[in-house]
A and B are shown apart, each in its own frame.
Chain A
Amino acid sequence: MSQGTRWFEQRRDFVASVPPDSAPAAGKPETPELFTKCPGCAEVVFNDVLVKQQFVCAKCDHHFRVGAVDRLRALCDDPPSVLLHDADLLARDQLGFIDSKPYAKRLVDARKKSGRNDAFISVAGPVAGVDMEIGSFDFSFLGGSMGAVVGEMITRLFERAADRKVPAVVISASGGARMQEGVLSLMQMAKTCAALARLRDAGMPYVSVLTHPTTGGVAASFAMLGDVIVAEPGALIGFAGPRVIRETIGQELPAGFQTSEYLLEHGLIDLIVSRPQLKPTLGRLLRQLLNLPPMG
């Protein structure tokens, strides 16, 4: 059941600078864009090149948002051989939540658009030669929000890592808890963190990778609890959103507030790693912590 094949061939999660909701003009056939303008330096980059560069601009190091499949495909040593876990879990509208759209409808739309069931992908397999349980958020699925399914997947990821005595890695990109699941989404923070404590008891390391953005209930649970916390450059990371803080204190926030660089300066994360360096960094770190010889 959890043996998923070909997950890595899933539709590319390409997120270009075009807003995700911009539908193609009526009558015009839906053709994929061939290139993307970098919001960092305005350079026009071919999409194929961008994919090869793991969605990082070669000119200015701008980190584009990257989907979970692309992210994991770039990290796993042999993507076709990894095990896909828990992709069958389906969120339930336990509250019957309706705002401008019923939550049930939101879920259906998000599933259709993304080709997957929720905002997280969980796999098991070697990264830089280290067997591990590794998962990634997908921000394009309801803002990477954590409801019961994401909470369950992360909890199981930690539990499996503890059982198998392998390290765990979670790559976060999330606005926080999923409001439409109410207080139950809040409880996912406790569920995941309790499982993480058991991983610690099992003596296995956990590396948390923070990407843009990591805020709210995800930041205030497993994301900030890595034995080692790595962040991508320029990511927004924090508990409260900048708008709320600005309203609370009634003044403008300093430049660079709540960025990876700000957190590093304040001792809140261990290191900032550019995306292409993530895989070698994870390999090096985990091999050191597990007392394995360096990669050949």
Chain B
Amino acid sequence: MDVVLDFERPIVELKRRIQQLRELQEANGVDLSASIEQLEVQARRLQENIFGKLTPWQRTQLARHPHRPYTLDYVDGLFTEWTELHGDRCGYDDHAIVGGTARFKHLGAADDGLGGKPVLIVGHQKGRNTKENLFRNFGMARPDGYRKAMRLFRLAERFGLPILTFIDTSGAYPGLDAEERGQAEAIARNIMEMATLKVPVVCLVAGEGGSGGALAIGVANRVLMLENSVYSVISPEGCAAILWRDRAEASRAAEALRITASDCLSLGVVDEVVPEELGGAHRYASQTVAAVGAAVRRHLTELLPLSTQELLDDRYDRFRRLGAFDAA
């Protein structure tokens, strides 16, 4: 079922009219090409207008859109031989985080040398319907998920596989069992241990970058961010509830928190913004997956020649300089 956001409704309706005209033309053999063309120009202009000046709150909605590519869509589109690996070896397998090994797709004559190379992939995984979301816990991981991720990171390190992570979570699961099993410790542990990984780590903020639950798989040499994804210390709703005492102020909070990709780029939190088609990743999934693939491969190609020490120092320095202050 198509999920249409309020602000994109005019575009979707116009496109539906174009589609109707096309069908009419087909069925009745009348020439409507002039009107169709006119409407298409109009639709393109509308799309440029709306998507050219999205508010942070609108981008938040795009980042959460259920048709946006998820981790397993990137796995499908960019890799072969995907072998999902399960479990934290402490009694749990968290389905909100998926992980496994795969190989980069070979790009034929245009290959960059990565084609066929093995890689470890870890990412949050959301569901597209209620049933899937119950299984995936809406992409909100418990400590078990983070511990599984860490186990796989160390596996990759032992065998020299580069690591690719996909962030897409509203946050770590705030539940009783998660606390009981040490949610804070699991996140903390990952953040620290990721800083010590001896292989290249590239991360994409693909949708929602929700606080510590996102960062727990995000301590990378390169952090990329899709244009309409968001990365934040707290959800706009959560921030609004605390600072404005009203969740309805979420759009103001989204503005104040500077959570968009271009904000994160200017703050130094991400290294590159991967552009989306006008209309958003949820309407242009395959193009988005391809653009991400190209960016990831480019960054990995730059990182692969680095020595272990260079990789460690690069990652340390990358996070070491974040956050400005003055001296009295």
Could you tell me which A residues sit within 8 Å of B by CB distance? 88-92, 94-95, 97-100, 117, 147-149, 151-152, 155, 177, 179, 181-191, 193-198, 215-217, 219-225, 237-240, 244-245, 248-249, 253-254, 257-258, 266-268
Contacts and interface: CB of A to CB of B under 8 A. Distances in A.
Contact of B174 (A95, A98, A224, A244): A244
Interface string B301-328: 0000000000000011001101111111
B192 A185 contact: no
B257 A189 contact: no
B192 A194 contact: yes
B232 interface: yes
Contacts of B328: 88-90, 117
A126 to B, nearest CB: 27
A239 B191 contact: no
Nearest to B327: A88
A100 B253 CA distance: 11
Interface stretch (B76-84, B99-107, B239-247): B239-247
A258 B178 CA distance: 11
Contacts of A193: 188, 191-192, 195, 219
Contacts of B239: 179
Contacts of B212: 186, 189, 216-217, 220-221, 239
B233 interface: yes
Contact of B258 (A95, A151, A196, A266): A95
A221 B316 CA distance: 16
A183 B174 contact: no
A224 B192 CA distance: 11
Interface in B185-217: 185, 187-189, 191-193, 195-196, 209, 211-212, 215-216
Interface of B: 172-176, 178-185, 187-189, 191-193, 195-196, 209, 211-212, 215-216, 218-219, 231-234, 238-239, 242-244, 256-259, 263-264, 267, 269, 315-316, 319-320, 322-328
A293 B178 CA distance: 41
Contacts of A97: 256-257
Contacts of B257: 95, 97, 179, 182-183
A238 B242 CA distance: 18
Nearest to A103: B256
Consensus secondary structure, chain A interface:
helix
B323 A148 contact: yes
A152 B322 CA distance: 9
Given A98-B256, A244-B174, A223 B184 contact: yes
A46 to B, nearest CB: 36
A257 B176 contact: yes
Contacts of A95: 256-258
B219 A190 contact: yes
Given A95-B258, A217-B212, A183 B267 contact: yes
B187 A245 contact: no
A183 B212 CA distance: 10
Q: 5 nearest interchain CB pairs?
A: A148-B323, A240-B174, A194-B195, A219-B184, A193-B192
Contacts of B219: 190, 193-194
A223 B188 contact: yes
A89 B267 contact: no
A238 B184 contact: yes
A148 B325 contact: yes
B34 to A, nearest CB: 49
Contacts of A189: 188, 191, 212, 215
A191 B113 CA distance: 33
Contact of B320 (A89, A191, A225, A237): A191
A223 B184 CA distance: 9
A223 B183 CA distance: 13
B16 to A, nearest CB: 38
A171 to B, nearest CB: 17
A238 B179 contact: yes
